Structure 1
Amino acid sequence: MKILQNKTLTDVSGFQAIGIHSGIKKSGNKDLGIIYSTKPAVAAAAFTTNIVKAAPLQINMENLKISQNTQAIVVNSGNANACTGAEGLNHAHQMTQTVADALGLSSSEVLVASTGIIGVPMPMQVVVPGIKAACELLATGTGASAAEAIMTTDSFVKSITVEVMIDEKPVLISGIAKGSGMIHPNMATMLSFLVTNANISKSLLSETLKDSVSDSYNMISVDGDTSTNDMVIILANGTAGNTLVEKADGNYGKFKEALDFVNKELAKLIAQDGEGATKLIEISLYNAKTQKDAKVCAKSIISSNLVKSAFFGSDANWGRIMCSLGYSGGNFVPEKVDILFKNEKGTIQLVKDGAGIPFSEEQAKEILDQKYVNIVVDLKDGEHGAVAWGCDLSYDYIKINGSYRS
């Protein structure tokens, strides 16, 4: 597998994409995107665990059930189309129908996504003309413009493309994502759209995506809020020409490894871009009794606002890490725990066998002052591990979210 620099969605055979300004955002920034497979494709998706699900998610869940072919995704930023009742469902359906009419598809072959302010009706007077204009321009569009169109409070575009050889055919997986705030394990205010030219069955693609999401997007936390609009969608159009991947064989292993890599890299970019964040924090947890214990403990650390605040201040307050482990619900023996901090500035151990040990405050601060810090936790209680990602919690987080609607 190799990372393809400066490549994006439209570099994957059979895919077109575009992002435009339709008028949803008053700022003039791009706010509407289309992703389109010129060939029939299968799709899989994962959605928020929030009981309050935005209209687009409800439409998508139905469309994925009734259609074996999914060729397009329409997405807007600036309005979440959430908590908008029957009108919101009608608007989401109108968006899929407008794309379908423009591209010669059935509305059930189109998926829809929205992100932005909750509870405000969609401005369909600009959305519908915007969709029509975007569809007309698809052939000249770029994946980069689509990545811009899905951004809200994001400070940078999140995109990655990789290539893996299957049956001596180059198979590409390319993804874009947005996410900055309302990010919490079990997905968050985040959208991720992936395309691949792999020839893979819909059932196996769905199973693979579910497993991949569990170890990537479900292992990040910015602020503890799980949104109404979160989703991950992947389209696979089979244009690579490889033998159909429909069982867990060697070809499947190659595809899954590449998909996992793409999703984890996008998840880390989302965590790094947490609203007001100054640092990316990675939890590497080792030797838990079970896989569930490993994930629960790692998530608990990365979700702790006290841990996040300490890291913003470069305070080596390891007690907060032990505390978050203690209330995690994970099964472990406190008297066995080791805790270390590490990055390019070095490695320092702060806890051994559940108790603090002498360490250099100066060295600890030098490590914590960096933009990336790895918290290493060894439970010494089994053979299972987990990785989670998040960020520090800064003053700017309050500033951004205190005036989000204005």
Structure 2
Amino acid sequence: MADWQEITGGITAPRGYRAAGITAGLKPSGLPDLALILSDVEAIAAGVFTTSQVKAACVDYCRQRLQAKHNTRAILCNAGQANAATGSQGWFDALESAMAVAQALNISSDSVLLASTGVIGQRIRIDKLKAEIPQLVAALSDTGSDAAARAIITTDLVTKSIALETTIGDRPVRIGGIAKGSGMIHPNMATMLAFVTCDAAVSPGLWQQMLSRAADRSFNSITVDGDTSTNDSLIALANGQSRTPAIVEMGPEAEKLEAMLTAVCQHLAKAIARDGEGATCLIEVQVTGTHDELSARQIAKTIAGSSLVKSAIFGRDPNWGRIAAAAGRAGIPFEQENLQIKLGNFLLLENGQPLAFDRAAASAYLKGASKGAYLKEDTVLISVSVGNGHGTGKAWGCDLSYDYVKINAEYTT
């Protein structure tokens, strides 16, 4: 049983945080497009970013800032323009954005982190952004999480938010988060932004280690379409306002905090996969029996990312051969005679041998999952075992529908 409970409030649930989201005129649609998250005091910051060689200016900016100092006060996020592949001018736009926020908040510009999302190759509409910064700062509120969550999305159909609370040292500790992402989603980050706030006190190195591990078990374990983006950013702040003793090394309290951080990240990651462009259901792949966790996750991610598996799920076709083929090409050695595959509660393959199963019922299971009739949160569960090892891992994805092609074929037109 989880050692925490879900609470309301999103990124402003932890103590000492405010947030805002407004319409600044950056998106042609006229929808909200500028968000700000502020810690009332200096917060320890950690980040995980895209591994792409083509990176947005905000990614380079954040990496430089976090290498130079671990303390941060604010995160500014614009939607509408990715400010990626925009050359030196895109870099100057990023600097101007940080300076504008810093001046409005009366803080140092190196205490501002940045994120952008939108069309690659388009610079931020910097004049519009700068003109609306005073309005954005004025809108900051300790109930502003929902507004911020709305302002960071692009093709998302829904906002993504979560907050959890546990007890450390007889005092409540909270972690909240918001995220965006729907397409161009694949491990090694994805077209996703996620912002996490925490009111515990954690040493910088340990907070970064916790976040990196949580990212591997969440955002680096989801896939929608096999494409990794230029702007992926996961930024987490810890400001110590819970007034609990500082956590400086691994131990029971650190493990409890990391488990809750991972749960927040996994909730947001699954929400991204569930909201995949054109998707009708979430796919969860559970793999057991490998030598270690990394190997299990690799097999799980390969299955979740298989276009053939995803297409079969959309077609409500219990074609386990596609699952077996994906597991076999994941690059992780295992004996074929040890392979077991289950779809929900339907055992399809055991000891490497196909089994008779009720195909119509299995197809009905897939149809029901698309409507949320069989499993909580519209989830199709694929379970794979490859041996007797202790390694276990999970990955999440979604089905591949006709609408995915339509959405992306017309993305800039």
TM-score by length of 1: 0.97
Q: Distance in 2 between matches of 1:349 and 1:127?
A: 55
Check whether the contact 2:247–2:254 (CA below 8 A) recurs between aligned residues: yes
Which residue of 2 is the match for residue 237 of structure 1? 239
1:365-404 alignment to 2 at 5 Å?
365-369=363-367, 370-371=369-370, 372-404=379-411
Question: What is the aligned partner in structure 1 of residue 199 from structure 2?
Answer: 197
How far, CA to CA, are the matches of 1:54 and 1:141 in structure 2?
A: 30
Question: For 1:16, what is the secondary structure of its paired residue?
Answer: strand
Amino acid at match of 1:373: V
Matches within 5 A, 1:162-311: 162-311=164-313
Q: How does 1:352-367 map to 2 (within 5 A)?
A: 352-367=350-365
**8 A contact 2:12–2:142 mirrored in 1:** no
Task: Deviation per CA, 1:299-336: give whole Å up to 9, x if none.
Answer: 11001000000000000111111111121111111121
Which residue pairs with 1:40 in the alignment?
42
CA distance in 2, matches of 1:393, 1:84: 31
SS in structure 2 of the partner of residue 91 of structure 1? helix
Q: Which whole-Å CA distance do the structure 1 matches of 2:13 and 2:381 have between them? A: 34
Q: Which amino acid letter does the alignment assign opposite residue 294 of structure 2?
A: K
Sequence identity (%): 42
- Deviation, 1:2, is 3.1
1:350 to 348, 353, 357: 348
* CA offset digits 1:262-305 (Å, max 9, x no partner): 01111110110000000100001111123332121111100100
Q: Secondary structure at the match of 1:40?
A: strand
Matched letter for residue 355 of structure 2? I
User: What amino acid maps onto 1:282 in structure 2?
Assistant: E
| Cα distance change on mapping 1:141 and 1:94 into 2, 3 Å | farther
Asked whether 1:91 is paired with 2:98, we answer no
Equivalent pair of 2:58/2:114 in contact (CA under 8 Å): yes
| In structure 1, distance between residues paired with 2:265 and 2:204 | 18
SS of 2:343 mapped into structure 1: strand
1:19·1:141 contact (CA, 8 Å) conserved in 2? Answer: no
SS in 2 for 1:316: coil
CA distance in 1, matches of 2:57, 2:261: 28
Partner of 1:106: 108
* CA distance, structure 1, for counterparts of residue 253 and residue 40 of structure 2: 25
Distance 1:329 1:130 in 2: 50
> Secondary structure at the residue paired with 2:183?
coil
Aligned length: 402
Deviation at 1:140, TM superposition (A): 7.1
Gaps of 5+ in 2: 371-378
Deviation per CA, 1:112-156, whole angstroms, max 9, x where unpaired? 000000001221121111223201221476110000001001011
CA distance in 1, matches of 2:152, 2:117: 8
Query: Could you list the runs of 4 or more consecutive aligned residues of structure 1 that deviate by over 4 angstroms after TM superposition?
Result: none
Say whether the 8 Å CA contact 1:289–1:332 is kept in structure 2: no
| Cα shift readout 1:15-60 (whole Å, capped 9, x = no counterpart) | 0100000001121210000000011111000001111111000000
Q: Which residue of 2 aligns with 1:148?
A: 150
